Amino acid sequence: MKALLSIFRCAVLAVAVSLVLTGSRPPQAGTQDFHVEYGPWVTDMSEQAFTVLWSTDEVCQGWVQLDNGRRIYEDYAGRKLFGTLHTVRVEGLSRGTEYGYRIGNRVVDPANPRRPAYGQEVLSERYAVTTFDPNRKKCRFSVMNDVHMRLDHYAALLDDIRISDNDFLLLNGDIISAGNWTVDSLLKYEVGPLGPWGANLPVVFSRGNHEGRGSGVALVEKVFPKAASAPYYYTFREGPAAFIVLDAGETGVKNALALTGDRIYEAYLREQMEWAKAVMKEPFFRNAPVKICILHAPMIDPGLPDDFVPHTWMNHHFLPLLNKAGVDLMIGADLHEYQYHPAGTMNNDFPILVNDDQSRLEVRVRSGHIYVTVYDEAGNVTVPTRDIPVTRKKHTIR
């Protein structure tokens, strides 16, 4: 008994010393002494799971609470986490189902590692997202790219998107410009303007060349994490469409040489080719009625004399593989101008559509057709709806 009493006194003394040394006080019950700075936003959507992220201005414990009362805490190796950037994976869901959710937070004073002090629990307003479903008859999404830190432009493009008319939002790279980013600055420019669109629409992210520059390159994955695959190349299925998302890396030969050397980027692209060759053989992709390739730098041949330009390299080496897989459309960005390359004009068996840096694409897939309309930030149609027929192509990858 004396030994237990001694341990208890030591614990109390440790708490007192910690509070004196740090000058900290336990969070006060009954008050919300924090703010959600960014988010929530939903990413890495699948048929059975999605990830919710948000950030707070104080250290908090975070969780997601579904409409049925189920709580999913941010955890790691058996314990609940606390911090300022919160990432919660919600799993065990059903395909094609709407899930209402709220984010929960309570401030934590971690000064005493044995007994952190907690504030009151605070729940957000209700949001809702719908899991992907390959049995849907149609697929609808909007595309933005090359925003380059123009927050007002970002917000204006979002403003005309009707959440109920879209299954997801595609950010096709270069939402930022080259810089030595921190997590906080990435949050400001990559997801800051998303507001209700990010909370109620899954965000699909395709990395641009500018996200690949600077000392903060590895931090982008913290903003758009992937649970079970490489962070910047992956596949997913929504309705009749199977999507393959690729990462072209650096787009300029001089920058490629300065950052890592062209051979490193070529090795990275070859790594993706081997992965793509295998994944496009799988039934979910092979048997999909529609197949769409997404990447920031389109696989076109601009006719430049450089030894290594990723656009040209991919056109010569990667594009033939996509032709064999029966891809129906490629959606690209990077060039800051709208381009449409019909099948047969760029060594391509399918159209390559490139969005500019001023517009939003609205894409609708249904009944053997892909319809693409281009809107400016005022919501005006700048390129009339293009009807891209989908024809069943022979899959010849071996």
Per-residue pLDDT tens for 194-209? 999 999 999 999 999 8
Task: State phi, psi for 93 to the nearest 5 degrees.
Answer: -100, 175
**Does residue 397 belong to any structural domain of this protein?**
no
Q: How far apart are CA 292 and CA 322, in angstroms?
A: 10
Q: How far apart are CA 257 and CA 259, in angstroms?
A: 6
Secondary structure string (H, E, C) spanning 363-394: EEEECCEEEEEEECCCCCEEEEEEEEECCCCC
Q: What is the helix (H) or strand (E) element at residue 190, kind and residue range?
A: none
**Does residue 7 belong to any structural domain of this protein?**
no
Q: Are residues 120 and 143 in the same domain?
A: no
Residue of 308, 276, 306, 289 lying closest to 138 (CA atoms): 289
Q: Are residues 202 and 108 in the same domain?
A: no
Q: Are residues 292 and 378 in the same domain?
A: yes
**Does residue 13 belong to any structural domain of this protein?**
no
Give me 122's structure tokens: 């605070």
Q: Coil, helix or strand for 301?
A: coil
Q: Are residues 101 and 205 in the same domain?
A: no
Residue that is last in its domain, among 130, 161, 185 = 130
pLDDT the model gives residue 394: 77
Give me 183's structure tokens: 């997590």
pLDDT the model gives residue 5: 43
pLDDT the model gives residue 86: 98
295: CATH: 3.60.21.10
Alpha carbon of 383 to those of 245, 338, 358: distances in Å? 25, 9, 12
From the number of C-beta atoms within 10 Å of its C-beta (0-12, 13-18, 19+), residue 386 rates as middle
For residue 88, what pLDDT band results from cuts at 50, 70 and 90? very high
Residue of 324, 374, 377 lying closest to 353 (CA atoms): 374
Residue 148 corresponds to which amino acid?
A: H
Residue that is last in its domain, among 130, 165, 185 = 130
Q: How far apart are CA 175 and CA 172, in angstroms?
A: 8
Q: What is the helix (H) or strand (E) element at residue 250, kind and residue range?
A: none
pLDDT the model gives residue 9: 46
Q: Coil, helix or strand for 48?
A: coil
Q: What range defines the domain where residue 372 resides?
A: 138-389
Residues 6+ apart with CB under 8 A from 25: 19, 109, 117
Q: How far apart are CA 359 and CA 173, in angstroms?
A: 14
**Does residue 29 belong to any structural domain of this protein?**
yes
**Does residue 306 belong to any structural domain of this protein?**
yes
Per-residue pLDDT tens for 101-126? 999 999 999 888 889 999 999 999 99
Q: Are residues 147 and 112 in the same domain?
A: no
Q: Are residues 199 and 62 in the same domain?
A: no
Q: How far apart are CA 221 and CA 193, in angstroms?
A: 19
Q: Are residues 61 and 115 in the same domain?
A: yes
- For residues 126-140, give the mean pLDDT: 98
Q: Are residues 364 and 269 in the same domain?
A: yes
- For the chain, give percent helix, strand, coil, nearest 5: 25, 30, 40
Q: Are residues 105 and 146 in the same domain?
A: no
Q: How far is CA 49 from the centre of its chain?
A: 14
Higher confidence at residue 372 or residue 249?
372
Per-residue pLDDT tens for 253-312? 555 555 555 456 788 899 999 999 999 999 999 999 999 999 999 999 877 665 567 888
Please tell me the total count of domains within the chain.
2
95: CATH: 2.60.40.10
Q: Are residues 277 and 313 in the same domain?
A: yes
10 has pLDDT over 90: no
Q: How far apart are CA 71 and CA 84, in angstroms?
A: 19
| Cis amide prior to 305 (ω within 30 degrees) | no
**Does residue 8 belong to any structural domain of this protein?**
no
Per-chain mean pLDDT for the chain: 89
Q: Are residues 222 and 102 in the same domain?
A: no
Q: Are residues 68 and 154 in the same domain?
A: no
